[in-house]
Amino acid sequence: MRLHPALIILAAALTLPLPTLGSETSETDLTIAGAYVRMVPPGTPNSAAFMTISNRGSSDRKLIQAASPVARKVELHTHLNDQGMMRMRQVADIEIKAGAQTELKPGGYHVMLLDLQQPLQEGDSVALTLRFDDGSTKEIDAAVRKPQTEMKAQDTPAQGAMKH
Protein backbone atom coordinates (compact mmCIF):
# COMPACT_ATOMS: atom_id res chain seq x y z
CA MET A 1 0.00 0.00 0.00
CA ARG A 2 2.42 2.71 -1.16
CA LEU A 3 -0.31 5.26 -1.70
CA HIS A 4 -1.77 4.92 1.73
CA PRO A 5 -0.33 8.05 3.39
CA ALA A 6 -1.09 10.06 0.28
CA LEU A 7 -4.70 9.03 0.42
CA ILE A 8 -4.91 10.05 4.03
CA ILE A 9 -3.55 13.48 3.21
CA LEU A 10 -5.95 13.80 0.32
CA ALA A 11 -8.86 12.89 2.54
CA ALA A 12 -7.69 15.30 5.21
CA ALA A 13 -7.28 18.08 2.70
CA LEU A 14 -10.76 17.50 1.36
CA THR A 15 -12.43 17.61 4.73
CA LEU A 16 -10.54 20.75 5.66
CA PRO A 17 -13.13 23.49 6.00
CA LEU A 18 -12.41 25.91 3.24
CA PRO A 19 -12.92 29.18 5.15
CA THR A 20 -10.09 28.41 7.52
CA LEU A 21 -7.87 29.08 4.54
CA GLY A 22 -9.30 32.56 4.17
CA SER A 23 -9.30 35.51 6.46
CA GLU A 24 -11.48 35.90 9.51
CA THR A 25 -14.92 37.25 8.83
CA SER A 26 -17.01 39.04 11.32
CA GLU A 27 -20.66 38.15 11.51
CA THR A 28 -21.70 41.59 10.35
CA ASP A 29 -20.30 40.87 6.90
CA LEU A 30 -23.46 38.93 6.16
CA THR A 31 -26.82 40.59 5.93
CA ILE A 32 -30.13 39.00 5.15
CA ALA A 33 -32.92 40.93 3.50
CA GLY A 34 -36.45 40.23 2.38
CA ALA A 35 -36.79 36.91 4.17
CA TYR A 36 -40.21 35.31 3.86
CA VAL A 37 -41.81 31.93 4.19
CA ARG A 38 -44.45 30.93 1.74
CA MET A 39 -47.90 30.29 3.10
CA VAL A 40 -49.19 26.96 1.84
CA PRO A 41 -52.70 25.55 1.44
CA PRO A 42 -54.27 23.83 4.45
CA GLY A 43 -52.84 20.40 5.16
CA THR A 44 -49.70 20.94 3.09
CA PRO A 45 -46.71 19.54 4.96
CA ASN A 46 -43.90 21.42 3.23
CA SER A 47 -43.03 25.01 2.56
CA ALA A 48 -39.99 27.07 1.67
CA ALA A 49 -38.19 30.17 2.87
CA PHE A 50 -36.66 32.71 0.52
CA MET A 51 -34.32 35.65 1.11
CA THR A 52 -31.37 37.56 -0.21
CA ILE A 53 -28.06 37.05 1.56
CA SER A 54 -25.41 39.68 1.02
CA ASN A 55 -21.76 39.24 1.84
CA ARG A 56 -19.81 42.44 2.37
CA GLY A 57 -16.79 40.55 3.57
CA SER A 58 -13.66 39.79 1.63
CA SER A 59 -14.03 36.04 1.63
CA ASP A 60 -16.67 33.79 0.18
CA ARG A 61 -19.18 32.36 2.59
CA LYS A 62 -21.49 29.42 2.47
CA LEU A 63 -24.82 28.85 4.08
CA ILE A 64 -24.45 25.31 5.31
CA GLN A 65 -27.46 24.67 7.52
CA ALA A 66 -30.80 26.07 8.52
CA ALA A 67 -33.20 25.22 11.29
CA SER A 68 -36.63 26.36 12.39
CA PRO A 69 -38.97 25.42 15.21
CA VAL A 70 -41.90 25.25 12.76
CA ALA A 71 -40.47 22.36 10.75
CA ARG A 72 -39.28 18.95 11.79
CA LYS A 73 -36.61 19.03 9.15
CA VAL A 74 -34.98 21.85 7.24
CA GLU A 75 -32.91 21.37 4.11
CA LEU A 76 -31.17 23.52 1.54
CA HIS A 77 -32.44 22.96 -1.96
CA THR A 78 -32.14 24.16 -5.48
CA HIS A 79 -33.99 23.58 -8.70
CA LEU A 80 -32.54 22.42 -11.92
CA ASN A 81 -34.48 23.18 -15.05
CA ASP A 82 -33.56 20.16 -17.13
CA GLN A 83 -35.20 20.79 -20.49
CA GLY A 84 -38.39 21.93 -18.86
CA MET A 85 -38.29 19.23 -16.19
CA MET A 86 -38.00 20.87 -12.78
CA ARG A 87 -35.79 18.77 -10.62
CA MET A 88 -35.59 19.77 -6.98
CA ARG A 89 -32.37 18.68 -5.34
CA GLN A 90 -30.87 19.02 -1.91
CA VAL A 91 -27.57 20.92 -1.85
CA ALA A 92 -24.84 20.81 0.77
CA ASP A 93 -24.47 24.55 0.85
CA ILE A 94 -25.40 27.81 -0.81
CA GLU A 95 -22.49 30.07 -1.59
CA ILE A 96 -22.43 33.81 -1.11
CA LYS A 97 -19.35 35.17 -2.83
CA ALA A 98 -17.29 37.94 -1.29
CA GLY A 99 -18.82 41.31 -2.04
CA ALA A 100 -21.82 39.74 -3.72
CA GLN A 101 -25.26 38.49 -2.89
CA THR A 102 -27.13 35.28 -3.42
CA GLU A 103 -30.84 35.24 -3.93
CA LEU A 104 -32.95 32.43 -2.60
CA LYS A 105 -36.06 32.71 -4.71
CA PRO A 106 -38.86 30.67 -6.25
CA GLY A 107 -37.56 28.26 -8.87
CA GLY A 108 -34.02 28.40 -7.52
CA TYR A 109 -32.31 28.12 -4.16
CA HIS A 110 -34.56 27.83 -1.15
CA VAL A 111 -34.59 26.74 2.44
CA MET A 112 -37.05 23.89 2.47
CA LEU A 113 -39.20 23.42 5.53
CA LEU A 114 -40.31 19.81 5.77
CA ASP A 115 -43.04 18.41 7.93
CA LEU A 116 -44.47 21.63 9.26
CA GLN A 117 -45.37 21.40 12.91
CA GLN A 118 -48.06 24.04 12.74
CA PRO A 119 -50.15 25.73 10.08
CA LEU A 120 -48.61 28.95 8.85
CA GLN A 121 -50.89 31.95 8.56
CA GLU A 122 -50.25 35.12 6.66
CA GLY A 123 -48.81 37.66 9.05
CA ASP A 124 -47.10 35.02 11.18
CA SER A 125 -43.42 35.24 11.71
CA VAL A 126 -41.18 32.19 11.43
CA ALA A 127 -37.89 31.99 13.30
CA LEU A 128 -35.00 30.67 11.23
CA THR A 129 -31.47 29.93 12.34
CA LEU A 130 -28.93 30.05 9.56
CA ARG A 131 -25.50 28.58 10.02
CA PHE A 132 -22.53 29.54 7.88
CA ASP A 133 -19.29 27.84 7.12
CA ASP A 134 -17.27 30.20 9.31
CA GLY A 135 -19.18 28.94 12.30
CA SER A 136 -21.33 32.02 12.57
CA THR A 137 -25.08 31.82 12.90
CA LYS A 138 -27.85 34.26 12.19
CA GLU A 139 -31.26 34.30 13.78
CA ILE A 140 -33.89 35.85 11.59
CA ASP A 141 -37.64 36.20 11.52
CA ALA A 142 -39.29 35.53 8.22
CA ALA A 143 -42.78 36.81 7.49
CA VAL A 144 -45.32 34.34 6.18
CA ARG A 145 -46.66 35.47 2.83
CA LYS A 146 -49.24 34.15 0.43
CA PRO A 147 -47.73 33.31 -2.96
CA GLN A 148 -50.04 35.89 -4.54
CA THR A 149 -48.77 38.57 -2.17
CA GLU A 150 -45.12 37.74 -2.67
CA MET A 151 -45.56 37.99 -6.42
CA LYS A 152 -47.04 41.45 -6.21
CA ALA A 153 -44.19 42.42 -3.92
CA GLN A 154 -41.57 41.28 -6.38
CA ASP A 155 -43.34 42.85 -9.32
CA THR A 156 -40.65 41.79 -11.71
CA PRO A 157 -41.11 39.17 -14.37
CA ALA A 158 -40.20 35.76 -13.10
CA GLN A 159 -36.93 34.36 -14.34
CA GLY A 160 -37.07 32.98 -17.83
CA ALA A 161 -36.74 34.88 -21.01
CA MET A 162 -39.58 36.86 -22.47
CA LYS A 163 -40.32 35.15 -25.69
CA HIS A 164 -41.91 37.87 -27.71
* Binding-site ranges for other proteins (CB under 8 A): 5-6, 9-10, 13-14, 16, 18, 21, 38, 40-48, 60, 73, 77-88, 91, 95, 103, 106-110, 112-115, 146-148, 150-151, 157-163
| Minimal distance, residue 123 CB to other proteins, in Å | 16
| Minimal distance, residue 112 CB to other proteins, in Å | 6
| Minimal distance, residue 103 CB to other proteins, in Å | 7
Nearer to other proteins, 56 or 79 (CB): 79
| Minimal distance, residue 140 CB to other proteins, in Å | 19
Span between the terminal Cα atoms of the chain, in Å: 63
**Torsions phi, psi of 84, nearest 5?**
90, -15
Nearer to other proteins, 23 or 162 (CB): 162
Q: Which residues contact 1 (CB under 8 A, 6 or more apart)?
A: none
Nearer to other proteins, 46 or 129 (CB): 46
- Asked if 22 contacts 60 with a C-beta cutoff of 8 angstroms, the reply is yes
Q: Which residues contact 129 (CB under 8 A, 6 or more apart)?
A: 66, 67, 68, 137, 138, 139
Nearer to other proteins, 139 or 158 (CB): 158
Exposure string over 25-35, b if 16+ CB within 10 A, otherwise e:
beeebbebebb
